[in-house]
Amino acid sequence: MQALSDREALLERRQYTHEQVTLWDKLSLAQKFAASSMTQFGYDLSFIRNSNNGNIAILQCNDKAATINSEGDVDTSPDIIIRP
């Protein structure tokens, strides 16, 4: 029970910018569920890229990146390079 209230407190402290809210609005429902679970591990939604297979959400946590395809599949070892 304590872990749940600690998590809720952490989530309440997290502030989302207007840009992040706009990004979340562009995700599919499956991507929203997957991205929400990734935020529990410290990942934040950074940007969305369009591809022939649909939108790909890119999340970052420190120096790590993860992608979520339009079906909600998470790849925590994507073959991408993110420019600083």
Q: What integer pLDDT is reported at residue 43 of this predicted model?
A: 96
The pLDDT value recorded for residue 23 is 85
**Residues facing 3 on adjacent strands:** none
Both tokens assigned to 66: 């993860």
d(CA 59, CA 20): 11
Provide the residue ranges of all domains of the chain, joining segments of one domain with +.
Answer: 18-84
DSSP 52: T
pTM over 0.75: no
Instruction: List helix spans (H) across 14-63.
Output: 18-25, 29-39
Neighbours of 38 (CB within 10 A): 19
**pLDDT tens string for the chain (84 positions)?**
555 555 554 444 444 555 666 888 899 999 999 999 999 999 999 999 988 878 999 999 998 999 999 999 999 999 988 887
Token pair belonging to 32: 């929203």
